Amino acid sequence: MRTLRDKRPRLLDVADSSRERALLVLQAIAEECGRRGYEFSLRPDDNPTFQISMDGVSFGFVMFEEYESRPVMNEADLKEAKYDWQRVRSTVRKVRSGKLVIRTGSRHSPVSWADRKRWSLAGRLPYLFAYVEQSTIETIEQRANAERERIERRQAWERALDRARQLCVTDLNRRRLDDQLAASRRAENLRCYADSIDRQAEAMDDAEPALQARQWAAWMRSEADRTDPLLRLTDLAYVRPEAIKDSDLDAFMPRGMSVWRRPPQ
pLDDT tens digit sequence for 120-154: 999 999 999 999 999 999 999 999 999 999 999 99
Query: Residue 265 domain-assigned?
Result: no
Q: Does residue 125 belong to any structural domain of this protein?
A: no
What's the mean pLDDT in 190-209?
A: 94
Residue 143 lies in a domain: no
**Domain span including residue 18:** 2-69+94-120
Residue 52's pLDDT is what? Answer: 97
> Are 37 and 103 part of one and the same domain?
yes
Predicted confidence band at 246 (pLDDT cuts at 50, 70, 90)?
very high
Residue 148 in any domain: the answer is no
Q: Is residue 84 part of a domain?
A: no
In a domain, 196, yes or no: yes
pLDDT digits over 48-72, tens only? 889 999 999 999 999 999 998 776 5
pLDDT score recorded for residue 106: 86
Tell me how many domains the chain contains.
2
Domain shared by 185 and 237, yes or no = yes
Residue 165 placed within a domain: yes
pLDDT reported for residue 88: 54
Residues 56 and 166 in one domain: no
- φ/ψ of 40, rounded to 5, equals -110, 130
Q: Which pLDDT belongs to residue 236?
A: 94
Within a domain: 52: yes
Q: How far apart are the first and last CA of the chain?
A: 42
Mean pLDDT over the full length of the chain: 90
